[in-house]
Structure formats: structure tokens, C-alpha cells
Copies of this chain bind each other. A is one copy, B any other.
Amino acid sequence: MMNILYVAPALGVLALVYTWVRSGWVSRQDAGDERMRTIAGYIADGAIAFLRAEYKVLALFALIACAFLGYLGTTGEKSSPVIVIAFLIGAVFSALAGFIGMKIATKANVRTAQAARTSLAKALNVSFSGGSVMGMGVAGLAVLGLGSLFIVFYQLFVVSKGGGANGIEMETALEVLTGFSLGAESIALFARVGGGIYTKAADVGADLVGKVEAGIPEDDPRNPATIADNVGDNVGDVAGMGADLFGSYVATILATMVLGREVVAAGDQFNGLSPILLPMVIAGMGIVASLVGILLVRVKEGGNVQAALNFGNYASVIVSGIASFFIIRWMLPPGELVIGRAGSVPFTSLDVFYAVVVGLIVGTLMSIITEYYTAMGKRPVNSIVQQSSTGHATTVIGGLAVGMESTVLPIIVLAAGIVLSFEFAGLYGVAIAAAGMMATTAMQLAIDAFGPIADNAGGIAEMSELPKEVRERTDILDAVGNTTAATGKGFAIASAALTSLALFAAFMGTANISSIDISNARVLAGLFVGAMIPFIFSALAISAVGRAAMAMVQEVRRQFREIPGIMEGTGRPEYEKCVAISTQAAIREMMLPGAIALIVPIIIGFAFGPEVLGGTLAGVTVSGVLMAMFQSNAGGAWDNAKKSFEKGVLVNGKMEFKGSDAHKASVTGDTVGDPFKDTSGPSMNILIKLMSIVSLVIAPHIAAPERAVAPRPVERPALSLEPKVRYAELAPEATKVLFVLLRETR
């Protein structure tokens, strides 16, 4: 039986072997001429410098978190200080995932540029290989880390104490394992926010002075912020996203495992462990499915890159779906499974498979809908293009309306997915649907990460003044990359939403509450406060970008003014000063939003109890999902509205091109959208997941008193009046909440 425990870690190792081999292959490709290597060197150095500075600060944060976790671990009866170790490993693995991605991206970018001198097929091969290294690295680290820690904790807390699959010993083992996810997700939040601020401060700063004021093209080597801009692609779009999806992937698997403990699978071949192990095995299988998909991505010169990527992607989704059928049949016992401590509706292994299928469908639909709202030539982007003809303001209004409208269909799909997967297999069904959706994370990441690599390759080609056809080839890849970035965001939001719900359910079980009743005034107040968090978080992230961009603008203006010969290309811009501005701003500005996500659930949980915290989490999740879609899709749509003008587009029966007034208005829209789609929007995912994980970690410490079997001790009155609270007890805690939230608004 115990062999099953090693399946997931073994497949994790397989993924890492792929990472190592493929990474070697990328490194052996031609890195081009002297000038290309020099520029690529600047970019790589800038990226490393940022990660070093960021990780230094995060190490300090991790120490504080360890102290807090260690304290918690020694107090609760179901806890253990071992959680500190799990947390640290999670944090280090998450940082490593970001580092691997950044490292391969800064190698693949220049090699893609060089490959693009030969052919489009070769350029795609190099850039997509870079992406696949990152995807496999993330998935491998996640599955290996979770899988081996589970083996250790299972031995330590369950086997050694003679516990079973559904007992309190297993609860402790999984509670400790939560530390891994907490470590992963908190690093992810800082990486996403920090990277997001970095990349957009550089991008907006470079564009505002370079393109708009000085009138030089994008990625022009005379622009002092251009290196920082290209570094940003690597630390934000690559390292940040890697850490983000690493966190989602781990959190999903973990939440399903926690809920799996509540599923009684009598008669399986694994001592009843099958519902707990299933999500890990599915994740391992997903690595194989992704590998199949990755190997299928091929394109001929002049071929359709998007179609090639889609083919690989759909292949991996379909392989996942089919393989999960057999895995579920093999692992789960044939009869009915029972979930929950009070007798509840049983479900069969087939129901679990249906839930996985629901997850796969939800993920696919979300990607398709997101693509519709952000793709060139479709109605939403076209409506923005038309409104650009009446100026800056109408362009912005049009994009905001598109972003808001774009929430409708995804929410309906998501709501239907929640209800359906729940009907099939209860909350375990919701969780396993998320796990099914996330199974092909490696493939998704490969597709996602190839975009910024191609973008960087284009930048290097421009700065190194390579022949025009090189830039044309990288532009084809870059355009596809923009679409995959948008669909990837749709996928990430859907996964984050389902993951948060799974974590939410796990939290309720662990905190020992059976309902979260919004007709209770305090829960309702929690819902309001929770729903407000994504707004203040976005406000902080957006205004951080604004401040940092202004600092960048002033530095670039200064260099244009003071460095002789800079515009003629004879004076060398001080790239490193711009890199330093972005780095410092990102590190400084990521602290407060990160702290809010970590501290708010702790304060609310300890001051007002688990039910109010549950209301808060529901508020954060609902409003966070909406804000994520609104911001990401508005940003994506503005971006492609601007790109439409670059290609030439029909407005009021007249072709409009780059340089027209309408195009200038569309540039304004794109700039507004930058922090939306690359800083605050994608941070929402991590925000909602992280707040749920923090709640799950503190859940045993704020749990409602253990109840006997089924009956409820106290009947709720008809209008659910709670006994009056003693204000004297609440006042100090309430003051603390107020203090933190007031400070945010400084």
C-alpha cells in the first residue's frame, strides 16, 4: 500500500529532471553577438539584483512569521511547532520556483532573439522551451515538496501514534502541512506585488517619457528606463507568476487533502487514505499530461503559433481528463463514500470524476471567455477602439465598461461550477474540481511564460539593432503571448476562486463551525469589511505604481537633460539608476498590502471568532474575484485596443494607424490598464488565497468548542438575535483593526 505515497514525489522528480535537461539544452543554444550578450547581461544582472534584494527582505519576514507560527504550534492541542519547518520549506521552494523561472527566462530571451534570425519555428522552440522549463520546475517542486513532506508527517504524526485516515492525528499532520502552503503563498504574494510594481513602474515610466515626450520607439537603447522595463518582464511576468501559480497549485492540492480527511473511504486499498492522496496523484498525473502537451507544440515557418499552443494545451487537458477517470476508479473504493462528521449525503467515485470534469470545463470556459473580452477584432476591444476616436476620456470609459461587463459570464460559469461540483461530491467535489483544473498547471505556465520571453527577445533585437525580420518574428510570438497572458489570467482567477472555496470549506471544518449565517449582524459586518479589502489592496498597489512611475519619469527626464549625446546615441544612459529606482520602489511598496493580507484575518479571527472571519473570507473572495476580472480584462482590452492601431484599424469608416490622435488616446487607455492587469489584478488571486490559508492555519486556535455528534446545542432564534456582546471585551481588538486600516489609508 505504501508505494502509492511515493508516486507523487517520483513524478515531481521526473518533472525536475525535465527541467534540468531542457534547461541545459536552452543554455547550449547560440546567445548571439557581443552586443546582444551585453544587453542580455544587463537584464539578467538587474533581475538577479532585484530578486536578491527582495529575498533578503522576505527572509526577515519569514523569521517573524516563524516566531508567530512556532508560538501557535506550541499552544494548540492539534498543532505542532513542526509547522515552522513546513513553512520554511514552502517559502524556500516558492522562492526557488521564481528563481528558476527568472533564470531560464533571462537565458532564453537572448537565445530566442538569435534563433529568430533563422526561423519562426526555431524561435518558438527556444522561447517555449524556456517556458516549459519554468512550468515543469514549478509543478515538480510543488509535487515533490508536498509529497515528501506528507510522507514525513504521516509517519511522524499518524503512523507512529497509530492513527487512521480520518482521525485527529491526521488532522494534526495536515495542519502542519498547511505551513508549506502558507510559506509558498506568502512569498508568492510579495513576489507578485513586488514584481508587479517593479515591471509597471518601469514600463509606465519608460513609455511616458520615451514614447510620448521624446518620441523614440519602444525598447530604444537611448531610453534609460528600457533595461529596467525588460528586467520587469522577468521579475514580474515570469518570477511573480511562477510564484503565484506555485502557490495556487500547492493550496489547491492541500485544501483537497484537508477535505479528504472528512471523506470516509472504507474498503479502499490504501487504509482509507485514498481521498487524501488522490489530489496529489492527480497532480502527478497532470505533470505527465503536461509533458505530452509540451512535446506536441510544434510550428512550421509561417504557421499558426496560437493554434500550435492551443493544440498542445487541449491535448494535455483531454489526457488529464481521461487519465483521472482511471486513477479515480483505481484509487477510490467502488461503493459509496461518505463525507462529513454528521451523516451526510454519500457519493461514488464516479461522482468524484464528474467533479474533476466540471473543473476542467470551468477552466477551459474561463480561458475562452477571457480571450473573447481581450482579443483584437472582437466586439469588446473594437468598442474601445471606436471610443478612442472621441479622445482620452471616452477610451478610458470604454475600457472600464468592458472590464465590468467581462465579469458576467465568468461569474455565471463559476457559480454553475460551484453548484455542480458540490452537487456531485459536496465540498470535496468543489476542491477536487479545482485540483482537476490545476492538474495541467505545468502546461499552462509553459504557455504563459513563453510570452514575456518572446517580449524580451523583441526588446533585445531592437536594442541590438538586429535585422527587421527578426523583430517581425518575435512580434508574432509576442502578440500570441499577449493573448496567452490574458487567458492565463482567466485560468488563474478561476483556480484561485475554486481554491479559496476549498480552503474556505477546510477552514470551516477545522474551525469547527457548521454554518456562516449572513443574517447575523456581525457576520454581515465581516462580509462588508472583507469585500472592502480588495479595494484598498488595489488602491495601494495602483498608487504604488503611480508613485514609482513618477520617480522613474523624473529620473529619465533628468538623464535626457543632463547626459550629453544621449539622444544622438553617443552618450550611454545610466540604466542601473532606473533599475535601482524600480527595485527600491517595489520592495518598499509591497510591504503594506502584503501585511494587510496577513494580519487582517489574524485580527478578525482572534477578536471576533471563526464565524465572523468566515464572513470576511467570503467577502474577500467574492469581491476579489470580481476585481481581479474587472481589472485584468479591462487592462487586457485596452492593451489590444492600442495594438489594433499599431496594425491599422477601421474607425468611423476610416483606417487609423499609429500616431493618429485616436492612437494616442488608446495609449492612455493602455497605460491606465498597465497597473490594473499586471499589478493589482493578478495580486487579487493571491490575496484571496493567502487570507484563506492564514485563516486555515489559525483555525484550530480560534475554533468553536468541540461539539458532540449531530445535534446543535442552542437553537437560533427566528431572526437570529445573538446574545449581546460585551463591548469592554471587544474594544481593544476593534481598536487594533481600526488602527491597521487607518494606517493603510495614510
Interface positions of A (Cβ within 8 A of B): 204, 208, 212, 262, 339-345, 383, 386-387, 390-394, 396-398, 400-405, 407-409, 411-412, 414-416, 418-419, 422-423, 426-427, 430, 501, 504-505, 508-509, 514-522, 524-529, 531-532, 535-536, 538-540, 542-543, 545-546, 549-550, 553, 614-615, 618-619, 622-623, 625-626, 630, 667-669, 671-672, 675, 710-712, 715-725, 734, 737-738, 741-742, 744-745
Is B711's CB under 8 angstroms from A715's CB? yes
Known: A393-B208, A416-B525, A725-B423. A516 touches B518 (CB 8 A): yes
Q: Which of B342, B397, B540 contacts A715 (CB 8 A)?
A: B342
Known: A408-B536, A542-B400, A719-B514. A626 touches B212 (CB 8 A): no
For residue A612, which residue of chain B has the nearest CB? B419
Q: Please, which residues of chain B bring their CB within 8 A of the CB of A505? A: 519, 719
Is B618's CB under 8 angstroms from A524's CB? yes
Known: A391-B208, A404-B542. A622 touches B710 (CB 8 A): no
For residue A262, which residue of chain B has the nearest CB? B719
Q: Please, which residues of chain B bring their CB within 8 A of the CB of A741? A: 408-409, 412
A538 CA to B744 CA in the complex, in Å? 27
Main secondary structure of the interface of A (DSSP, over half): helix
For residue A506, which residue of chain B has the nearest CB? B719
A64 CA to B582 CA in the complex, in Å? 60
Q: Please, which residues of chain B bring their CB within 8 A of the CB of A543? A: 383, 397-398, 401, 405
Q: Please, which residues of chain B bring their CB within 8 A of the CB of A341? A: 718-719
Q: Please, which residues of chain B bring their CB within 8 A of the CB of A672? A: 393, 396-397, 400
A531 CA to B515 CA in the complex, in Å? 20
Is A397's CB under 8 angstroms from B716's CB? no
Is A212's CB under 8 angstroms from B426's CB? no
The 9 closest A-B pairs by CB, nearest first: A422-B521, A393-B671, A404-B539, A415-B525, A344-B717, A405-B539, A344-B721, A401-B543, A515-B517
Q: Which of B339, B411, B622, B745 contacts A405 (CB 8 A)?
A: B745
- Could you list some 6 contacts between A and B, CB below 8 A? A397-B675, A408-B532, A423-B724, A509-B719, A516-B519, A518-B614
Known: A401-B539, A408-B536, A408-B741. A721 touches B524 (CB 8 A): no
Is B721's CB under 8 angstroms from A345's CB? yes
Is B531's CB under 8 angstroms from A623's CB? yes
Is B671's CB under 8 angstroms from A514's CB? no
Is B339's CB under 8 angstroms from A535's CB? no
Max count, chain B CB within 10 A of own CB: residue among A204, A262, A622:
A622
Is A625's CB under 8 angstroms from B514's CB? no
Is B539's CB under 8 angstroms from A723's CB? no
Q: Please, which residues of chain B bring their CB within 8 A of the CB of A525? A: 415-416, 418-419
Known: A344-B719, A622-B622. A419 touches B538 (CB 8 A): no
For residue A671, which residue of chain B has the nearest CB? B393
A527 CA to B662 CA in the complex, in Å? 40
Q: Please, which residues of chain B bring their CB within 8 A of the CB of A403? A: 539
Q: Which of B208, B418, B542 contacts A521 (CB 8 A)?
A: B418
Is B394's CB under 8 angstroms from A549's CB? yes
A262 CA to B720 CA in the complex, in Å? 13
Write the nearest CB–CB distance from A431 to chain B, whole angstroms.
Answer: 11
Q: Please, which residues of chain B bring their CB within 8 A of the CB of A408? A: 532, 535-536, 741, 744-745
Is B532's CB under 8 angstroms from A394's CB? no
Q: Which of B517, B529, B668, B723 contacts A393 (CB 8 A)?
A: B668
Is B719's CB under 8 angstroms from A528's CB? no
Max count, chain B CB within 10 A of own CB: residue among A525, A542, A718:
A718
A669 CA to B522 CA in the complex, in Å? 38
Is B524's CB under 8 angstroms from A404's CB? no
Is A518's CB under 8 angstroms from B521's CB? no
Q: Please, which residues of chain B bring their CB within 8 A of the CB of A630? A: 535
A373 CA to B508 CA in the complex, in Å? 38
Write the nearest CB–CB distance from A52 to chain B, whole angstroms.
Answer: 29
For residue A532, which residue of chain B has the nearest CB? B411
A508 CA to B519 CA in the complex, in Å? 8
Write the nearest CB–CB distance from A386 to chain B, whole angstroms.
Answer: 8
Write the nearest CB–CB distance from A106 to chain B, whole angstroms.
Answer: 29
Write the nearest CB–CB distance from A505 to chain B, whole angstroms.
Answer: 7
Is A717's CB under 8 angstroms from B343's CB? yes
Write the nearest CB–CB distance from A469 to chain B, whole angstroms.
Answer: 33
Q: Which of B204, B514, B532, B738 contacts A718 (CB 8 A)?
A: B514
For residue A629, which residue of chain B has the nearest CB? B535
A403 CA to B627 CA in the complex, in Å? 14
A415 CA to B619 CA in the complex, in Å? 13
Q: Please, which residues of chain B bring their CB within 8 A of the CB of A550? A: 386-387, 390, 394
Seed contacts A262-B719, A383-B543, A515-B720; 8 additional CB < 8 Å A-B pairs: A342-B715, A401-B543, A401-B546, A404-B535, A407-B532, A407-B536, A412-B529, A412-B737
For residue A727, which residue of chain B has the nearest CB? B423
Is A718's CB under 8 angstroms from B529's CB? no
Q: Please, which residues of chain B bring their CB within 8 A of the CB of A710? A: 715, 717-718
Write the nearest CB–CB distance from A322 to chain B, whole angstroms.
Answer: 25
For residue A746, which residue of chain B has the nearest CB? B379
Is A528's CB under 8 angstroms from B423's CB? no
Q: Which of B204, B418, B675 contacts A524 (CB 8 A)?
A: B418
Is B518's CB under 8 angstroms from A668's CB? no
Is A208's CB under 8 angstroms from B404's CB? no
Is A625's CB under 8 angstroms from B528's CB? yes
Is B522's CB under 8 angstroms from A719's CB? no
Write the nearest CB–CB distance from A77 to chain B, whole angstroms.
Answer: 20
For residue A259, which residue of chain B has the nearest CB? B719
Q: Please, which residues of chain B bring their CB within 8 A of the CB of A514? A: 519, 716-720
Q: Please, which residues of chain B bring their CB within 8 A of the CB of A721? A: 339-340, 344-345, 426-427
Write the nearest CB–CB distance from A54 to chain B, whole angstroms.
Answer: 23
A400 CA to B536 CA in the complex, in Å? 11
Known: A414-B528, A543-B401, A711-B715. A419 touches B522 (CB 8 A): yes
Q: Please, which residues of chain B bring their CB within 8 A of the CB of A745? A: 405, 408-409
Q: Please, which residues of chain B bring their CB within 8 A of the CB of A422? A: 521-522
Is B208's CB under 8 angstroms from A528's CB? no
Q: Please, which residues of chain B bring their CB within 8 A of the CB of A723? A: 345
Max count, chain B CB within 10 A of own CB: residue among A339, A392, A550, A723:
A392
For residue A530, which residue of chain B has the nearest CB? B622
Write the nearest CB–CB distance from A433 to chain B, whole angstroms.
Answer: 11
Q: Please, which residues of chain B bring their CB within 8 A of the CB of A412? A: 529, 532, 737-738, 741
